[in-house]
Structure 1
Amino acid sequence: MAGFPSIDTDLLRTFAAIADHGGFTRAAEAVNRTQSAVSMQMKRLEEDVLHCTLFQRDGRTVSLTPEGQVLLGYARRILKLHSEVFNTLSLPKMVGTVKIGSPDDYVMRFLPGILSRFAQDYPLINVEVHCEPSVLLLQRNDLDLTIVTREPGTETGQILRQERFVWMVAEGFAPHERTPMPLAMFNTDCFCSTWACNALDLAQREYRIAYTSASLSAINAVVSTGLAVTAQLQSLLPTDLRIIGEAENLPQLPSASIVLLRKHNSAASPIIECFAEYIVEGFKL
């Protein structure tokens, strides 16, 4: 079978830059070449390599032909794989395992995006995720990185974000209007449950702990059916729940810190530090 000519990744990178920037001039600045050099590259790609027209030119406006649109999808995939090869093989130390612990709250909300981006850049690193409540994670010493919730003033480690607890109920339901008000809370030694109960006691609001679980998904399932009220960090609000507060005669709740801890008494490896950077960025979103 006859072989195909190879496509220089520099040509694909310039081609993608033209598509991204909408023209040869700004693309030339992006790839640090002259406009004439960019034009010569694209002429070579069209005439010598692919033998098809990739651009429609209307004065200074440049758009992709149908063939150009097809090539753009392949170009992005090729350039991504090219980057992965160098990230993986030029840094052989970035091969191994990192063990992270987190409450399932943050696994559900933040970790999918973090793990996806990390896997794209470092596909040979294995990630072990251990889901437990913060109070249990703080007792472990086998985890490289640990994400926990801490009360203000007790933070150790790196603060990822600070936010307040809020009352949540399901759309279309009003369990907060019942007396006593039914609550769905964590059944572990969790200070957020203590905060919620203390706040209600101070406000002299009658309540009862109607449902408990160690799982956020279980609590949300109860609340989403309109059976109870819960108190969680604002960033954990599901789409089918809504925030209520002082307008519904409920007391304001304090804020808490989400903290990243590193393993004690061990020098952090490049893998651990790299993954920690991804976690820090992921919690900003």
Structure 2
Amino acid sequence: MANYPSIDSELLRTFVAIADHGGFTRAAEMVNRTQSAVSMQMKRLEEDVMQRPLFQRDGRQVSLTAEGQVLLGYARRILKLHGEVMTTLREPHMVGSVRIGTPDDYVMRFMPGILSRFAQAYPLVQVELHCEPSFNLLQRQDLDLTIVTREPGTEIGQLLRQERIVWAEANGFSPHEQEPLPLAMFNSQCFCRAWACNALDAMEREYRLAYTSPSLSAIMAVVSAGLAITAQLQSLISPDMRIIGEAEGLPPMPSASIVLLRNAHSQSPVTETLAEHIVEGFKL
């Protein structure tokens, strides 16, 4: 097995800073070193990488050689892994499990990014995800963190975001013209379904619950096929749908508040850290 020299992670960090900021001077500021120290670091790095040049200079401009471009990709991956290792080893308390409850609505839109970022930072934490309507989640006492939908003015816990509920149907279809109006909604005990039905009742618009499901993806598949309309959070409406409203004879809908509840009996550094990731994730 070949005995290659090891590469100091600090050299790679400086190398990436030069690539990102386009020169030695700015990189020196970012890594808190003098420009001469940065130059010495890069000379050492070039010697470690089989004595091949990593930079080409045109006046004051610095760019990467072909070898430098190859090393940049590896350097980013090495530094990322280095950061994950240090986070895991220096924070041994970040091991355990967290139980989250959330309506199906938010799993598709928000949770993938939140859980991905959390897993990268704390790979040893086990996350248990429970998807149920807000009404059911509010009855449970076994969850560490719970995300639920509330009407404005009835918020409990920490407000994550407020968002409009809108009517939507598939592009190229007009199920809103049918009588009675076909709806695709969540199963019973869903806030959004109750608000939609109450609004239609108030304006005496005839409707029928043509399709019901506990799954948002199933509801959206029905709507995308042009079989019914739905009422959902605006951020959940996909590009193949269009928002409809009063011009199509539909009542205005309220805004919804999305809130985060913490279980006071199961708080821990793991739970609070994931809660912080959730708060940030719902801002995106």
User: Could you state the TM-score of these two structures normalised by the residue count of structure 1?
Assistant: 0.96
Q: CA deviation at 1:48?
A: 4.4
How far, CA to CA, are the matches of 1:236 and 1:36 in structure 2?
53
Say what the alpha-carbon RMSD is for the aligned residues: 1.2
- Partner residue, 1:283: 282
Contact 2:7–2:48 under 8 Å retained in 1: no
Q: CA deviation at 1:240?
A: 2.0
Structure 1 position 4 matched with structure 2 position 9: no
DSSP-derived class of the 1:205 partner: coil
How far, CA to CA, are the matches of 1:281 and 1:243 in structure 2?
27
Question: Which structure 2 residue ranges, 5 or more long, are not aligned?
Answer: none
Equivalenced residues, count: 284
Q: CA deviation at 1:201?
A: 2.4
Q: CA deviation at 1:244?
A: 1.0
- Partner residue, 1:68: 68
Structure 1 position 196 matched with structure 2 position 200: no
How far, CA to CA, are the matches of 1:275 and 1:191 in structure 2?
26
Q: Deviations over 1:33-74 (max 9, x none)?
A: 111111111111113444111111111111111111110011
- Partner residue, 1:155: 155
| Poorly superposed stretches of 4+, deviation over 3 Å | none
Structure 1 position 260 matched with structure 2 position 280: no
Letter in structure 2 aligned against 1:4: Y
- Partner residue, 2:229: 229
- Partner residue, 2:185: 185
Contact 1:19–1:64 under 8 Å retained in 2: yes
Structure 1 position 22 matched with structure 2 position 22: yes
Contact 2:104–2:214 under 8 Å retained in 1: no
Letter in structure 2 aligned against 1:280: V
- Partner residue, 1:85: 85
Letter in structure 2 aligned against 1:237: I
Structure 1 position 45 matched with structure 2 position 36: no
Contact 1:88–1:123 under 8 Å retained in 2: yes
How far, CA to CA, are the matches of 2:2 and 2:193 in structure 1?
70
How far, CA to CA, are the matches of 1:154 and 1:81 in structure 2?
44
DSSP-derived class of the 1:156 partner: coil
Question: Counterparts of 1:67-146 in structure 2 under 5 Å?
Answer: 67-146=67-146
Letter in structure 2 aligned against 1:184: A
C-alpha spacing 1:48/1:152, structure 2 compared with 1 (3 Å): closer
Q: Deviations over 1:139-158 (max 9, x none)?
A: 11111101111112221111
Taking only the aligned residue pairs, the percentage that are identical comes to 76
Question: Which structure 1 residue ranges, 5 or more long, are not aligned?
Answer: none
Contact 1:168–1:242 under 8 Å retained in 2: yes
Letter in structure 2 aligned against 1:27: A
Q: Deviations over 1:188-231 (max 9, x none)?
A: 21221121122222333222221111211111111110000000
User: Could you state the TM-score of these two structures normalised by the residue count of structure 2?
Assistant: 0.97
How far, CA to CA, are the matches of 1:168 and 1:89 in structure 2?
48
Contact 1:141–1:264 under 8 Å retained in 2: no
